[in-house]
Structure 1
Amino acid sequence: MNKFALIVCTYMRPIALLKLLESVREQSLYPNEIIIVDGSSNNHTEKVIRSNDFNNLTYHRVEEKDRGLTKQRNFGIKKLSADTEIVSFLDDDIVLTNNYFKELIQTYHIKPDAIAVGGYIKNEVVWQALKDGSYAEGKFCIDGWQRNEPLKFKVRKKLGLLPDTRPGIICSFSHGRSVSFLPPNGKVYQVEQFMGGVSSYKTEVFKKVGFSNYFEGYGLYEDVDFCIRLLPLGKLYLNTAAQLNHYHEPSGRPNQYKYGKMVIRNGWYVWRLKNNKPLLKTKFKWYAVSALQTLFRFFNVFNTSKKVEALSDTLGRISGLLGLLINKPRLPHNNP
């Protein structure tokens, strides 16, 4: 079995991190090393780590210059043992099922051409297996399973704005279906993107690519950026049998205005990184879907209890869209 490591980049979430590490302790296949990279501005996380005993764990608290998701990940990579073959990254608000690492690492043997493998979040979507093969109206169906079709996709269908690719494959105008639209059937799917917070990579790829410093702080869509830059090097897969729960810890997140602005600007960045010469029709669709999703977010001001957050997020998205008319993000030199 490959020697593998776990890197967890954390920020101001000591209790959530402890729950994750306790689930790591129960794994049927345990990491050869665990590296905690803490960007917290206090020592609460360090106290939690020091007061508990976890095998093969090293703790690093970073200074301001190394703080932020992508910077902390690059910091952690530098701390890996030289003979580590695979490195797994997990968000700090995750709890693993007992066989997560066993299923994840086994994927590299099932798919020898894999350079990266993503895990599967099982608690965010309710899926139903279809025993008789019948599909319910208004549901999203794939491989004999169905789930609720979000309202935004129903509206996009009426407007001719549905994704032109299957789940996990990047759409020509972005705004595609994420890997959450792949069913929990135990299959391994080839993909072009997955969540960075439930990911793993062969360490050899870091000799050629690293996590981008363009994505500061919270780093929204940094995982998509990294997956796109990996595609020329080999194949990416998602193993739906490598399951975990994601609890979206509220602490440590940016305010909603900044988040909404990142949705637009970082979303534009990764779209153009993958599609550097989009057709006029493709450009229209990207802006149309971005505007539509901004409108849906505005409706949350009236139909959810978190009205202030929804309004702040909406204003951030509007600011992001208007900002693109004046000052677009700078792409790498090989993109126009």
Structure 2
Amino acid sequence: MKFSLIICTYMRPGSILRLLNSVKSQDVYPNEILVIDGSIDNNTENLLKARKILNLKYYKVENEQRGLTKQRNIGVELVNKQNEIICFLDDDIVLKPNYFKQIISTFNQFPDAIGVGGAIINEAVWKELDENKSKDFKYYYRDGYYRDLGARNVLRKIFGLLSCKPPGIMPKYSNGFSIGFYPPNGKTHQVEYFMGGVSGYKRSLFEKISFSEYFDGYGLYEDMEFCLRASRIGKLLLNTGAQCFHLHDKAGRPDYFKYGKMVVENGWIVWKLKYPNPDIKSILKWNAIVILLSLIRIKNGIINREKGALRDAFGRFFAWIKLPFKKPDYFYQKRKSEVTLPS
């Protein structure tokens, strides 16, 4: 299968160069690489033009075109129409050499799959399970492996607010397990959502839907929103053998208050997208999780002196208090927007 790679970037020249160096080492190389740059300076452009990277095409967008979902939609419009698969990578990702080989082989193995996600392997430590060892409350167990559940999930477990669904499947009160809760053992799983920054889709999907430009700028939950709509059209798979590293780059991220607001508001959107009319029990659980996670952020700020944690918490509470009176206008916007290409 021929495939295109789209990398959307903003003010991260060092990160994107590191990513492209890992792309060079791939067992299977993209037929086309499109860099859609929203930077307000020319550092990324100058860096890439000074290097010869096979099949690379660079596009600089204007101010009104800037933002992750807008830049992705522009990239989709610009890809070679002969390529069957469109892959997306965040600019702070580093790939293992067989990443694309695993993604493309999954599409070949499962012809009915419309999207395939990869696995980030540096954000959790998995250990093989000793069958003679009793299970611990603070660990998460799956497929013969276990990992730390994490402090916030342990608290949710204590209060009966932890998801009973497999990772990548949203429970009725939302707040499910991310796909990082699948061990990186090479297995493939059917899911409802995965991380859009390490993903690939059939190009034909974009004839029906596009990325929602409601999620302006940095975005949050925009990948889950897109995946939930895509999963109504075809099968989404996670291949834990398509492995990479996420080397978090804080450059280009919003302030903590705005981030906290987005956690609640955008989280509400994806919940309502999946479950438009949740029952009372699910509503109570969703709200309880918002309060619990906000209180944890307050604790992080006061006791742990974590930078920005209090502003994050205040943003969450602000959005939560506002929700009953003013809902996000996401559901009033068109799903498929017209795309203006960079000049």
TM bracket, shorter-chain basis: over 0.9
**Does residue 215 of structure 1 match 2:202?**
no
1:24-65: CA deviation from partner (whole Å, max 9, x where unpaired): 011110000000000001101101111111100000000012
Q: CA deviation at 1:132?
A: 3.7
- 2:233 matches 1:233: yes
Q: Is the 8 A contact 1:164 1:172 kept in 2?
A: no
Matching of residue 14 in structure 1 with residue 8 in structure 2: no
User: Pairwise mapping of residues 217-296 of structure 1 onto structure 2 (< 5 A)?
Assistant: 217-296=217-296
- 1:93 counterpart = 2:92: yes
Q: What CA deviation, in whole Å up to 9, does each residue of 1:59-99 have, x standing for no partner?
A: 00000121100000000001001111001000000110011
Change (3 A) 1:305 1:25: farther
Q: What secondary structure, in the 3-state scheme, does the structure 1 residue paired with 2:278 have?
A: coil
CA contact (8 A) 2:214 2:330 kept: no
What is the CA-CA distance between 1:131 and the residue it aligns to? Answer: 4.7
> Is the deviation greater in 165-174 or in 126-135?
126-135
Give me the whole-angstrom Cα distance separating, in 2, the residues matched to 1:333 and 1:177: 28
Which segments of 5 or more consecutive residues in structure 2 lack a partner in the other structure?
Answer: 334-343
SS at match of 1:180: helix
User: Secondary structure of the equivalent of 2:231?
Assistant: helix
In the TM superposition, residue 330 of structure 1 has moved relative to its aligned partner by 2.5
2:336 corresponding residue in structure 1: none
| Runs of 4+, deviation exceeding 4 Å | none
- With normalisation by structure 1, the TM-score equals 0.96
Map 1:313-324; keep pairs closer than 5 Å: 313-324=312-323
User: How far, CA to CA, are the matches of 1:200 and 1:133 in structure 2?
Assistant: 40
1:307-336 CA distance string (max 9 Å, x none): 3x11111111111111112211134369xx
Q: Which residue of 2 aligns with 1:41?
A: 40
RMSD: 1.3
Partner of 2:162: 162
2:72 is equivalent to residue 73 of structure 1: yes
Other-structure match for 1:202: 202
SS at match of 1:229: helix
CA distance in 1 between partners of 2:213 and 2:114 (Å): 22
C-alpha distance in 1 between matches for 2:130 and 2:153:
25
Distance 1:149 1:133 in 2: 20
Contact kept? 1:135, 1:141, Cα under 8 Å: no
Match of 2:324? 325
Distance 2:130 2:110 in 1: 29
**Residue 205 (structure 1) shift:** 0.3
| 1:177 is the counterpart of 2:164 | no
Equivalents in 2 of 1:246, 1:318: separation in Å? 29
Q: Distance in 2 between matches of 1:127 and 1:84?
A: 36
Q: Who is 2:151 aligned against?
A: 151
Q: C-alpha distance in 1, partners of 2:176/2:145?
A: 19
Unaligned runs of 5+ in 1: none
Deviations 1:105-125 (A, max 9, x none): 111112221100000000010
Amino acid at match of 2:229: R
Q: Would you say the 8 A contact 2:215–2:222 is kept in 1?
A: yes
Structure 1 residue 54 and structure 2 residue 53: aligned? yes
Deviates more, 1:242-251 or 1:148-157: 148-157
**Separation of aligned partners in 2, 1:105 and 1:133:** 39
Deviation at 1:171, TM superposition (A): 1.4
C-alpha contact (below 8 Å) 1:133/1:144 kept by paired residues: no
In structure 1, what residue type is equivalent to 2:261?
K
Alpha-carbon offset, residue 303 of structure 1: 4.1
Task: Give deviations 1:284-321, integer Å, cap 9, x for gaps.
Answer: 111110111111111111343533x1111111111111
Once the two structures are superposed, residues 196-238 of structure 1 have per-residue CA deviations (whole angstroms, 9 ceiling, x without a partner) of 1111100000000000011000110000000011112110000
**Counterpart position of 1:29:** 28
Q: SS of 1:273's equivalent?
A: helix
Identity %: 48
Shift of 1:152: 1.7
- 8 A contact 1:164–1:171 mirrored in 2: yes
